[in-house]
Amino acid sequence: MVRALVAGDGFVQPRILREALARHAPEVEVVELRNGWPAEAFGDVDDVQEALGDVDELIAAAQGCDVIFTHTHPITSRVIDSVAGLRMVTVTRGGPVNCNVEAATPKGVLVSYAPGRNATATAEHTVAMILAAVRQVADRDKELKDRVWRGDLYEYEKVPPEVRGSVVGMVGYGAVGSRVAHVMVAMGADVAVYDPYTPAERLEEGCRKVEDLSELCRQANILTIHARVTPETVGIIGKEQLQLLPDNAVVVNCARGPLLDADALADELENGHLWGAALDCLPTEPLADDSRLHGAPNLTMTPHLGGASKIAAEFCADLGARDIAAFLRGERPQFISNTEVLD
Protein backbone atom coordinates (compact mmCIF):
# COMPACT_ATOMS: atom_id res chain seq x y z
CA MET A 1 0.00 0.00 0.00
CA VAL A 2 1.36 3.42 -1.02
CA ARG A 3 1.00 6.02 1.71
CA ALA A 4 0.86 9.80 1.23
CA LEU A 5 0.92 12.70 3.65
CA VAL A 6 -1.40 15.45 2.40
CA ALA A 7 -0.18 18.57 4.19
CA GLY A 8 -2.60 21.37 3.40
CA ASP A 9 -3.49 24.78 4.74
CA GLY A 10 -6.42 27.18 4.72
CA PHE A 11 -6.26 27.73 0.96
CA VAL A 12 -5.24 24.39 -0.52
CA GLN A 13 -6.99 22.43 2.18
CA PRO A 14 -6.17 18.82 3.07
CA ARG A 15 -9.62 17.88 1.77
CA ILE A 16 -8.83 19.33 -1.66
CA LEU A 17 -5.52 17.44 -1.84
CA ARG A 18 -7.17 14.23 -0.64
CA GLU A 19 -10.01 14.47 -3.16
CA ALA A 20 -7.56 15.10 -6.01
CA LEU A 21 -5.57 12.01 -5.04
CA ALA A 22 -8.77 9.98 -4.82
CA ARG A 23 -9.59 10.91 -8.42
CA HIS A 24 -6.19 10.04 -9.87
CA ALA A 25 -4.61 7.56 -7.45
CA PRO A 26 -7.42 5.98 -5.43
CA GLU A 27 -5.15 3.22 -4.17
CA VAL A 28 -3.11 5.65 -2.05
CA GLU A 29 -3.64 5.62 1.72
CA VAL A 30 -3.79 9.20 3.04
CA VAL A 31 -2.56 10.85 6.24
CA GLU A 32 -3.57 14.49 6.78
CA LEU A 33 -1.87 17.52 8.29
CA ARG A 34 -2.77 21.20 8.21
CA ASN A 35 -0.92 24.41 9.05
CA GLY A 36 -2.29 27.88 9.82
CA TRP A 37 -1.57 29.64 6.52
CA PRO A 38 -2.86 32.16 5.37
CA ALA A 39 -4.12 33.38 8.76
CA GLU A 40 -0.51 32.92 9.91
CA ALA A 41 2.18 34.38 7.66
CA PHE A 42 4.77 32.10 6.10
CA GLY A 43 8.48 32.85 5.92
CA ASP A 44 11.87 31.13 5.96
CA VAL A 45 11.96 27.84 7.83
CA ASP A 46 15.45 26.40 8.23
CA ASP A 47 16.72 25.96 4.66
CA VAL A 48 13.51 26.67 2.70
CA GLN A 49 11.49 29.80 1.92
CA GLU A 50 7.82 30.82 2.03
CA ALA A 51 6.85 27.98 4.34
CA LEU A 52 4.89 27.48 7.54
CA GLY A 53 4.69 24.59 9.97
CA ASP A 54 6.52 22.73 12.70
CA VAL A 55 9.26 20.56 11.20
CA ASP A 56 9.11 17.98 13.99
CA GLU A 57 5.34 17.64 13.62
CA LEU A 58 5.75 17.21 9.87
CA ILE A 59 8.43 14.55 10.30
CA ALA A 60 6.26 12.62 12.75
CA ALA A 61 3.21 12.75 10.45
CA ALA A 62 5.23 11.65 7.39
CA GLN A 63 6.70 8.50 8.89
CA GLY A 64 5.96 5.53 6.65
CA CYS A 65 4.89 7.76 3.75
CA ASP A 66 6.11 7.32 0.19
CA VAL A 67 4.83 10.75 -0.90
CA ILE A 68 4.43 14.18 0.69
CA PHE A 69 1.76 16.25 -1.09
CA THR A 70 1.80 19.85 0.18
CA HIS A 71 1.25 23.51 -0.52
CA THR A 72 3.14 25.53 2.11
CA HIS A 73 4.66 23.07 4.62
CA PRO A 74 8.48 23.21 5.02
CA ILE A 75 10.11 20.26 3.26
CA THR A 76 13.55 20.94 4.70
CA SER A 77 16.68 18.84 4.43
CA ARG A 78 15.92 17.48 7.90
CA VAL A 79 12.47 16.36 6.77
CA ILE A 80 13.95 14.60 3.74
CA ASP A 81 16.66 12.94 5.86
CA SER A 82 14.18 11.87 8.54
CA VAL A 83 11.47 10.20 6.44
CA ALA A 84 12.80 6.80 5.44
CA GLY A 85 11.28 5.49 2.22
CA LEU A 86 10.21 8.90 0.96
CA ARG A 87 10.09 8.73 -2.84
CA MET A 88 8.34 11.91 -3.98
CA VAL A 89 7.47 15.42 -2.81
CA THR A 90 4.80 17.33 -4.71
CA VAL A 91 4.41 21.06 -4.03
CA THR A 92 1.24 22.65 -5.42
CA ARG A 93 2.90 25.98 -6.21
CA GLY A 94 4.43 27.65 -9.22
CA GLY A 95 7.85 26.62 -7.95
CA PRO A 96 8.97 24.33 -5.09
CA VAL A 97 10.34 27.18 -2.96
CA ASN A 98 9.35 25.43 0.28
CA CYS A 99 11.19 22.21 -0.62
CA ASN A 100 14.95 21.74 -0.44
CA VAL A 101 15.40 20.25 -3.91
CA GLU A 102 19.20 20.09 -3.47
CA ALA A 103 18.75 17.84 -0.44
CA ALA A 104 16.08 15.71 -2.13
CA THR A 105 18.02 14.94 -5.30
CA PRO A 106 20.94 12.89 -3.91
CA LYS A 107 18.43 10.96 -1.82
CA GLY A 108 16.56 9.98 -4.98
CA VAL A 109 13.44 11.90 -3.92
CA LEU A 110 11.57 13.29 -6.92
CA VAL A 111 10.19 16.82 -6.55
CA SER A 112 7.28 18.05 -8.67
CA TYR A 113 5.39 21.35 -8.66
CA ALA A 114 2.45 23.09 -10.37
CA PRO A 115 3.56 25.79 -12.82
CA GLY A 116 0.88 28.21 -13.93
CA ARG A 117 -1.45 26.95 -11.24
CA ASN A 118 -2.89 30.40 -10.50
CA ALA A 119 -1.86 32.27 -13.66
CA THR A 120 -5.44 33.03 -14.68
CA ALA A 121 -6.42 34.25 -11.22
CA THR A 122 -3.35 36.49 -11.02
CA ALA A 123 -3.94 37.84 -14.52
CA GLU A 124 -7.56 38.68 -13.65
CA HIS A 125 -6.42 40.45 -10.49
CA THR A 126 -3.75 42.36 -12.41
CA VAL A 127 -6.30 43.60 -14.95
CA ALA A 128 -8.55 44.66 -12.07
CA MET A 129 -5.67 46.52 -10.43
CA ILE A 130 -4.71 48.26 -13.68
CA LEU A 131 -8.27 49.52 -14.05
CA ALA A 132 -8.50 50.43 -10.37
CA ALA A 133 -5.33 52.51 -10.65
CA VAL A 134 -6.30 54.18 -13.92
CA ARG A 135 -9.79 55.06 -12.65
CA GLN A 136 -8.62 55.64 -9.03
CA VAL A 137 -11.48 53.45 -7.83
CA ALA A 138 -10.32 53.09 -4.21
CA ASP A 139 -10.03 56.86 -3.67
CA ARG A 140 -13.43 57.57 -5.20
CA ASP A 141 -15.00 54.80 -3.11
CA LYS A 142 -13.51 56.17 0.10
CA GLU A 143 -14.69 59.71 -0.68
CA LEU A 144 -18.26 58.58 -1.25
CA LYS A 145 -18.25 56.53 1.95
CA ASP A 146 -17.00 59.66 3.73
CA ARG A 147 -20.03 61.48 2.20
CA VAL A 148 -17.86 63.57 -0.12
CA TRP A 149 -19.18 64.17 -3.66
CA ARG A 150 -16.42 65.20 -6.09
CA GLY A 151 -18.22 66.72 -9.05
CA ASP A 152 -14.99 68.56 -9.90
CA LEU A 153 -13.46 65.25 -10.97
CA TYR A 154 -15.21 65.58 -14.32
CA GLU A 155 -13.01 68.57 -15.17
CA TYR A 156 -10.66 67.81 -18.05
CA GLU A 157 -7.49 68.26 -16.00
CA LYS A 158 -8.72 65.72 -13.45
CA VAL A 159 -10.24 62.99 -15.61
CA PRO A 160 -8.22 59.78 -16.04
CA PRO A 161 -6.56 58.36 -19.14
CA GLU A 162 -7.89 55.21 -20.80
CA VAL A 163 -6.31 51.84 -21.44
CA ARG A 164 -7.32 52.31 -25.07
CA GLY A 165 -4.54 54.15 -26.80
CA SER A 166 -2.13 53.81 -23.88
CA VAL A 167 1.22 52.08 -24.12
CA VAL A 168 1.09 49.20 -21.65
CA GLY A 169 4.67 48.28 -20.81
CA MET A 170 5.08 44.72 -19.55
CA VAL A 171 8.14 43.57 -17.63
CA GLY A 172 7.89 39.83 -18.19
CA TYR A 173 5.69 37.82 -20.54
CA GLY A 174 5.17 34.49 -18.85
CA ALA A 175 1.99 32.66 -17.94
CA VAL A 176 0.52 35.70 -16.18
CA GLY A 177 1.95 38.47 -18.37
CA SER A 178 0.79 36.88 -21.60
CA ARG A 179 -2.78 36.64 -20.28
CA VAL A 180 -2.76 40.27 -19.17
CA ALA A 181 -1.35 41.29 -22.55
CA HIS A 182 -4.22 39.50 -24.31
CA VAL A 183 -6.79 41.56 -22.38
CA MET A 184 -4.89 44.81 -22.84
CA VAL A 185 -4.72 44.26 -26.62
CA ALA A 186 -8.45 43.55 -26.66
CA MET A 187 -9.04 46.87 -24.86
CA GLY A 188 -7.11 48.77 -27.52
CA ALA A 189 -3.74 49.23 -25.82
CA ASP A 190 -0.37 49.27 -27.53
CA VAL A 191 1.39 46.48 -25.61
CA ALA A 192 5.18 46.70 -25.38
CA VAL A 193 7.06 43.80 -23.80
CA TYR A 194 10.46 43.67 -22.12
CA ASP A 195 11.44 40.05 -21.57
CA PRO A 196 14.95 38.84 -22.52
CA TYR A 197 13.76 35.22 -22.42
CA THR A 198 10.80 35.51 -24.79
CA PRO A 199 11.51 35.86 -28.52
CA ALA A 200 9.45 38.36 -30.48
CA GLU A 201 7.79 35.63 -32.53
CA ARG A 202 6.19 34.21 -29.38
CA LEU A 203 4.32 37.44 -28.63
CA GLU A 204 0.71 37.47 -29.67
CA GLU A 205 -0.59 39.81 -32.35
CA GLY A 206 -0.86 43.34 -31.04
CA CYS A 207 2.25 43.03 -28.86
CA ARG A 208 5.73 44.24 -29.73
CA LYS A 209 9.08 43.54 -28.11
CA VAL A 210 11.30 46.25 -26.63
CA GLU A 211 14.88 45.17 -26.05
CA ASP A 212 15.85 47.85 -23.54
CA LEU A 213 14.10 48.32 -20.16
CA SER A 214 14.84 52.04 -20.06
CA GLU A 215 13.23 52.50 -23.47
CA LEU A 216 10.18 50.55 -22.30
CA CYS A 217 9.85 52.87 -19.31
CA ARG A 218 10.11 55.98 -21.48
CA GLN A 219 7.14 54.76 -23.50
CA ALA A 220 4.88 53.16 -20.90
CA ASN A 221 1.76 55.00 -19.77
CA ILE A 222 0.94 51.87 -17.78
CA LEU A 223 3.78 49.72 -16.43
CA THR A 224 2.90 46.25 -15.13
CA ILE A 225 5.43 43.85 -13.62
CA HIS A 226 5.37 40.09 -14.26
CA ALA A 227 8.94 38.91 -13.66
CA ARG A 228 10.21 36.21 -11.32
CA VAL A 229 12.46 37.19 -8.42
CA THR A 230 16.09 36.38 -9.21
CA PRO A 231 19.32 38.13 -8.21
CA GLU A 232 19.08 40.00 -11.52
CA THR A 233 15.48 41.16 -11.10
CA VAL A 234 15.44 42.32 -7.48
CA GLY A 235 14.74 46.06 -7.66
CA ILE A 236 14.38 45.93 -11.43
CA ILE A 237 11.94 48.85 -11.19
CA GLY A 238 13.59 51.48 -9.02
CA LYS A 239 14.01 55.24 -8.88
CA GLU A 240 15.71 55.51 -12.28
CA GLN A 241 13.03 53.48 -14.09
CA LEU A 242 10.12 55.25 -12.38
CA GLN A 243 11.49 58.68 -13.24
CA LEU A 244 11.73 57.66 -16.91
CA LEU A 245 7.98 57.01 -17.07
CA PRO A 246 5.85 59.67 -18.78
CA ASP A 247 3.93 62.08 -16.56
CA ASN A 248 0.65 60.61 -15.26
CA ALA A 249 1.80 57.04 -15.76
CA VAL A 250 0.43 54.11 -13.75
CA VAL A 251 2.51 51.37 -12.07
CA VAL A 252 1.11 47.96 -11.15
CA ASN A 253 2.89 45.11 -9.35
CA CYS A 254 1.06 41.82 -8.84
CA ALA A 255 4.23 39.70 -9.14
CA ARG A 256 6.58 39.96 -6.13
CA GLY A 257 7.41 42.81 -3.74
CA PRO A 258 11.22 42.78 -4.17
CA LEU A 259 10.88 43.62 -7.88
CA LEU A 260 9.81 47.20 -7.10
CA ASP A 261 11.48 49.87 -4.94
CA ALA A 262 8.57 50.88 -2.68
CA ASP A 263 10.20 54.07 -1.37
CA ALA A 264 10.94 55.24 -4.90
CA LEU A 265 7.31 54.55 -5.83
CA ALA A 266 6.12 56.57 -2.83
CA ASP A 267 8.35 59.46 -3.96
CA GLU A 268 6.86 59.51 -7.45
CA LEU A 269 3.30 59.32 -6.14
CA GLU A 270 3.88 62.07 -3.61
CA ASN A 271 5.51 64.46 -6.07
CA GLY A 272 2.67 63.99 -8.55
CA HIS A 273 4.74 62.45 -11.33
CA LEU A 274 2.59 59.31 -11.39
CA TRP A 275 -1.17 59.26 -11.90
CA GLY A 276 -1.51 56.23 -9.63
CA ALA A 277 -0.31 52.79 -8.69
CA ALA A 278 -1.69 49.46 -7.55
CA LEU A 279 0.15 46.79 -5.56
CA ASP A 280 -0.82 43.28 -4.63
CA CYS A 281 2.76 42.39 -3.60
CA LEU A 282 4.40 44.50 -0.93
CA PRO A 283 7.93 45.07 0.40
CA THR A 284 7.02 43.18 3.58
CA GLU A 285 3.96 41.05 4.16
CA PRO A 286 2.17 42.05 6.32
CA LEU A 287 3.05 45.63 5.41
CA ALA A 288 5.13 47.32 8.11
CA ASP A 289 3.31 49.92 10.21
CA ASP A 290 5.90 52.56 9.32
CA SER A 291 5.78 51.91 5.55
CA ARG A 292 5.39 55.06 3.48
CA LEU A 293 2.91 53.19 1.29
CA HIS A 294 0.25 53.62 3.99
CA GLY A 295 0.04 57.33 3.26
CA ALA A 296 0.95 57.42 -0.42
CA PRO A 297 -1.68 59.16 -2.58
CA ASN A 298 -3.54 57.48 -5.43
CA LEU A 299 -2.37 54.02 -4.38
CA THR A 300 -4.56 50.92 -4.32
CA MET A 301 -3.30 47.91 -2.36
CA THR A 302 -4.50 44.36 -1.78
CA PRO A 303 -2.88 41.82 0.59
CA HIS A 304 -1.27 39.45 -1.94
CA LEU A 305 -4.55 37.97 -3.14
CA GLY A 306 -3.81 37.87 -6.86
CA GLY A 307 -3.48 34.11 -7.07
CA ALA A 308 -6.40 33.37 -4.77
CA SER A 309 -9.41 31.64 -6.31
CA LYS A 310 -11.31 28.44 -5.66
CA ILE A 311 -10.43 27.19 -9.14
CA ALA A 312 -6.72 27.86 -8.55
CA ALA A 313 -6.74 25.81 -5.33
CA GLU A 314 -8.51 22.91 -7.01
CA PHE A 315 -6.44 23.11 -10.20
CA CYS A 316 -3.06 23.00 -8.47
CA ALA A 317 -4.15 20.00 -6.39
CA ASP A 318 -5.28 18.25 -9.56
CA LEU A 319 -1.96 18.96 -11.31
CA GLY A 320 -0.05 17.55 -8.37
CA ALA A 321 -2.24 14.47 -8.05
CA ARG A 322 -1.83 13.71 -11.74
CA ASP A 323 1.96 13.78 -11.38
CA ILE A 324 1.85 11.58 -8.30
CA ALA A 325 -0.37 9.07 -10.11
CA ALA A 326 1.93 9.06 -13.13
CA PHE A 327 4.95 8.41 -10.92
CA LEU A 328 3.24 5.54 -9.13
CA ARG A 329 2.36 3.97 -12.49
CA GLY A 330 6.00 4.10 -13.50
CA GLU A 331 5.41 6.95 -15.97
CA ARG A 332 7.25 10.25 -16.18
CA PRO A 333 5.43 13.05 -14.31
CA GLN A 334 4.88 16.23 -16.27
CA PHE A 335 6.26 18.90 -13.93
CA ILE A 336 9.54 17.81 -12.35
CA SER A 337 12.08 20.04 -10.65
CA ASN A 338 14.93 17.50 -10.42
CA THR A 339 14.75 15.39 -13.58
CA GLU A 340 18.15 13.86 -12.79
CA VAL A 341 16.41 11.63 -10.25
CA LEU A 342 14.58 9.90 -13.09
CA ASP A 343 17.45 10.10 -15.57
Please identify every residue annotated as catalytic: 256, 285, 304
Q: How far apart are CA 338 and CA 343, in angstroms?
A: 9
Read off φ and ψ for residue 300, nearest 5 degrees. -105, 130
Q: Both ends of the chain: CA-CA distance in Å?
A: 25
Read off φ and ψ for residue 34, nearest 5 degrees. -140, 135
Residues forming a β-bridge with 32: 6
Measured over all CA atoms, what is the biggest interatomic distance in the chain, rounded to whole angstroms?
A: 71
* Beta-strand pair 3-8/67-70: parallel
Contact 273, 265 (CB under 8 A): no
Q: How far apart are CA 78 and CA 65, in angstroms?
A: 15
Contact 250, 222 (CB under 8 A): yes
Q: How far apart are CA 97 and CA 48, in angstroms?
A: 7
Q: How far apart are CA 213 and CA 215, in angstroms?
A: 5
Strands (E), 35-144: 43-45, 48-51, 67-70, 88-91, 110-112
Ordered DSSP codes for 134-145: HHTHHHHHHHHH
